[in-house]
Amino acid sequence: MFELLGIAPQALFGQLLLGLINGAFYAILSLGLAVIFGLLNVINFTHGAQYMMGAFGAWMLLNYVGIPFWGALVLSPIIVAIIGMVIERTLLRRLYHLDHLYGLLLTFGLGLIIEGLFRRQYGSSGLPYNNPLPGGTNLGFMFLPNYRAFVVVFSLAICIGTWFVIERTKLGSYLRAATERPDLVQAFGIDVPRMITLTYGFGVGLAALAGVLAAPAYQVSPTMGSNLIIVVFAVVVIGGMGSIMGAIVTGFGLGLVEGLTKVFYPEASSTVIFVIMAIVLLVKPAGLFGTVK
């Protein structure tokens, strides 16, 4: 069958796996955006820069402190999340009573500052980060590199875990209640402002986690975030931000579609997600899993 299409199975499955990895990043990033937007009503334009900070965090921990990948996988997201929470407390908080657009513009400006500082310090070209899981398994129809398999499985676990916490635990029910009616939740004695700060930290931490995972798969570069985040916005528009599971499914699905496009029509691989976004806007403007608010 593959011979008929003139595509070697090795190339096909290789690209599908890469697509799945990209899809994992789309899923984790759009998940973070959705969680933040749900509670803060802010579209976090700094998300791309925070993803990049996560990757650089891993690189710095390794090169300046000597902490290997597995330590960085935990530490780097926490550090970036703390920086994010400071930003929320000092800057974002003042804008909640205003039009959503101001939050968007503020986070866009913060993204420019962060990207500019990193570009000044480390230049625009990428820095290498060694693969912590070299080697792989031969599955017969393709060669499966260990690290890529790990990224897909680990990301899926993170996504499902996030879904579980938000949809199935008491903490998640507070969060969902505060998304609907923050004033009522506050009246029940829950510290909503602190909850907002922690939620922002959590969303940002997710972005940084994706960044750490991306560091060995790609290069660590200051522009890695801004390139990715625009695609993630398209993913968010396609999926709608109403549903956690929707964000996960859309993210992985679109990654696969992108991978397939790379095999069959490489010229369109950078634009296929935007084309899908245009079609979804025509057919179902609220997004695949979205509801009109």
Partner 1 sequence: MSTTSSPAALAGGPASTGGVLRLVGAAIALALLIAAPLAIYPVFLMKVLCFALFACAFNLLLGYVGLLSFGHAMFFGGAAYICAHAVKNWGLTPELGILAGVAFAALLGLVAGLLAIRRLGIYFAMVTLALAQMFFFFCLQARFTGGEDGLQGVPRRAVFGLIDITKDLNLYYVVLAIFVIGFAIIYRTIHSPFGQVLKAIRENEPRAISLGYRVNQYKLLAFVLSAALAGLAGATKAIVFQLASLTDVAWQMSGEVILMTLVGGMGTVLGPVVGAGIIVTMQNYLAGFGEWVLVIQGVIFVVVVSLFRRGLVGEVIALFSRQKPGAPAGH
Sites of contact with partner 1 (CB under 8 A) = 37, 43, 91, 94-95, 98, 100-102, 104-106, 108-117, 119-120, 226, 230-231, 233-234, 236-237, 267, 270-271, 274-275, 277-278, 281-282, 285
Q: What is the 3-state secondary structure (H, E, C) of 157-218?
A: HHHHHHHHHHHHCHHHHHHHHHHHCHHHHHHCCCCHHHHHHHHHHHHHHHHHHHHHHHHHHC
In a 13 Å sphere around the CA of 287, the CA atoms on its Cβ side amount to: 20
State the nearest-atom distance from the C-beta of 126 to partner 1, in Å.
16
Closest of 167, 168, 133, 170 to residue 153, by C-alpha: 133
State the nearest-atom distance from the C-beta of 131 to partner 1, in Å.
29
Q: Which residues contact 181 (CB under 8 A, 6 or more apart)?
A: none
Which residue, 12 or 228, is less far from partner 1 as judged by CB?
Answer: 228
State the nearest-atom distance from the C-beta of 105 to partner 1, in Å.
5
Which residue, 68 or 285, is less far from partner 1 as judged by CB?
Answer: 285
Which residue, 69 or 233, is less far from partner 1 as judged by CB?
Answer: 233
Q: What separation, in Å, do the N-terminal and C-terminal C-alpha atoms of the chain show? A: 46
Q: What residue type is 293 in one-letter code?
A: K
Which residue, 27 or 185, is less far from partner 1 as judged by CB?
Answer: 27
State the nearest-atom distance from the C-beta of 160 to partner 1, in Å.
26
CB 8, CB 247: distance < 8 Å: no
Which residue, 49 or 213, is less far from partner 1 as judged by CB?
Answer: 49
State the nearest-atom distance from the C-beta of 286 to partner 1, in Å.
8
